Amino acid sequence: MPNHGAKAALYDALAESAKALANGRRAELVDVLVQGERSVEELAQEIDQTVANTSQHLQRLLRSGLVESRREGTRIYYSLSSPLVGDLWRTMRRTAEEHVAGLEQLAADYLGDRSKLRSITRDDLRARLRDGDVVVLDVRPEAEYAAGHIRGAISIPIHDLRSRLGDIPDGAEVVAYCRGPYCVYADDAVRMLSGTSVTAARLEDGFPEWAEARLPVTRPPE
């Protein structure tokens, strides 16, 4: 293929990591994989695609070196090759937020009206954690909590929240968080908690951003 010069071939290769992310479905995949490894079937469900199509996208990511896979019995688990890939995804996302026209509208279309939901920034939560007067609630699936969470957070996956409302101390001030700024689990949690005895707000972004900012986390031993 490189019947063009050495410089062109080099820059083609440098652009390879962008090509890998240059597709909405693959962006969704990386966004999930940032939370930890997943099987093909789980990923297919997350991005609402057929298993065959998901598998093809994963192999595209594999070829570009951005993800790795391991087999466990009949399942194959994919994971990011390094935290650098998550950094790239977030930088890319931030750039799109800043520069891509129409993005706010699309975000609003997907997320619905967030204006009535109380929210809190990373820095605010950090300060309140120091004061110790807040319950931090991780509403992601159990496995993602296990792979790493905000230090001191408790885990109640969003799908269990309704039946486990009793686990939250009466009158507590709750801050719920999930996968990131475009994840709706924390929104749902705050909506569900409004009207109960607890006060609830959502963290403006999720665990990966918290970890990237080098704020205190708990991770499983290697």
Binding site for a copy of itself (CB under 8 A): 5-19, 21-28, 31, 48, 64-66, 81-82, 84-85, 87-88, 91-103, 106-107, 109-110, 182
Residue the block writes with tokens 């909590």:
145
Nearer Cβ to DNA (41/104): 41
Closest CA to 181 of 160, 209, 201: 209
Output 10 or 213, the one with its CB closest to DNA. 10
Q: How far is the CB of 207 from a copy of itself (least distance, A)?
A: 18
In contact, 56 and 26? CB cutoff 8 Å = no
Q: For residue 64, give the nearest of 43, 38, 88 by alpha carbon.
A: 88
**Residue 23 Cβ, how far from DNA at the closest point, in Å?**
3
Confirm or reject binding of residue 75 to DNA (CB under 7 A): yes
Sheet with 119-120: list strands edge to edge: 119-120, 199-203, 173-177, 135-138, 154-155
Of 18-37, binders to DNA (CB under 7 A) are 19, 22-25
Amino acid of residue 144:
E
Q: Is 6 near DNA (CB under 7 A)?
A: no
**Nearby residues of 219 by Cβ (< 8 Å), 6 or more positions away:** 147, 148
Q: How far is the CB of 78 from DNA (least distance, A)?
A: 8
Task: Give catalytic status of residue 183 as yes or no.
Answer: no
Determine the 3-state secondary structure of 222 from DSSP: coil
Given the complex with a copy of itself, which of 20 and 168 has the nearer CB atom? 20
Number of residues that this document lists for the chain: 222
**10 touches DNA (CB under 7 A):** no
